[in-house]
Structure 1
Amino acid sequence: MLNGIGGRTIAEAKQTLSYVEFLDWVEYRRKRGSLHPGMRIERAGALVAAILANVNRKKDSQPVSFYQFAPHHEEPKLSLEQAMETWR
């Protein structure tokens, strides 16, 4: 068993998971995203694709968004720049 988790059922893990451990997992998911392997692979692939598309784009074209390559991720309603403008 790894840290008392391996080999347990979901019900057993829920019963033995402390509130502090639960908060640690919530913070991890907030910071790192989904634990689903497919979503993590999609996110990594979309990030690489967006970087390559922006590095190789023509000078007069618009930058490509990460969300154009990640169909299962929702684009935020406000961009960072828009949010900063509203905070001023």
Structure 2
Amino acid sequence: MSLVEFRQWVKYRNRRGSLNVGMRVERGVALLATLYANAHTKDGGYKIYDFMPHDAEKAVTLEQAMESWA
């Protein structure tokens, strides 16, 4: 694989996510579960990561944290 092709794949993964079919299916199902749970509960507030046991929410950067405090 050439360096150019590798960079194209990295760009694709950054934009579209994992190439793992199982993770893609899990994300799709989690999205549907999130929509359903938020629509049918009083409080709502569920995130997609609440329904994805094999993925975790990305850590907040210092800049994002400082922005949320303001």
Question: What's the TM-score once normalised by structure 2's chain length?
Answer: 0.79
- What is the distance in 2 between the residues matched to 1:74 and 1:19? 30
Q: As a proportion of its length, which structure holds more helix? A: 2
Q: Which structure ranks higher in relative contact order (CA pairs < 8 Å, sequence separation ≥ 6)?
A: 2
Per-residue CA distance 1:7-57 (angstroms, 9 max, x = gap):
xxxxxxxxxx22111101001111111111111100110011111111222
Deviation of residue 78 (structure 1)? 2.2
Alignment RMSD, CA only?
2.1
Q: Percent identity?
A: 42
Gaps of 5+ in 1: 1-16
Greater CA radius of gyration, 1 or 2?
1
- What is the distance in 1 between the residues matched to 2:25 and 2:38? 20
- What is the distance in 2 between the residues matched to 1:53 and 1:73? 19
Partner of 2:19 in structure 1? 35
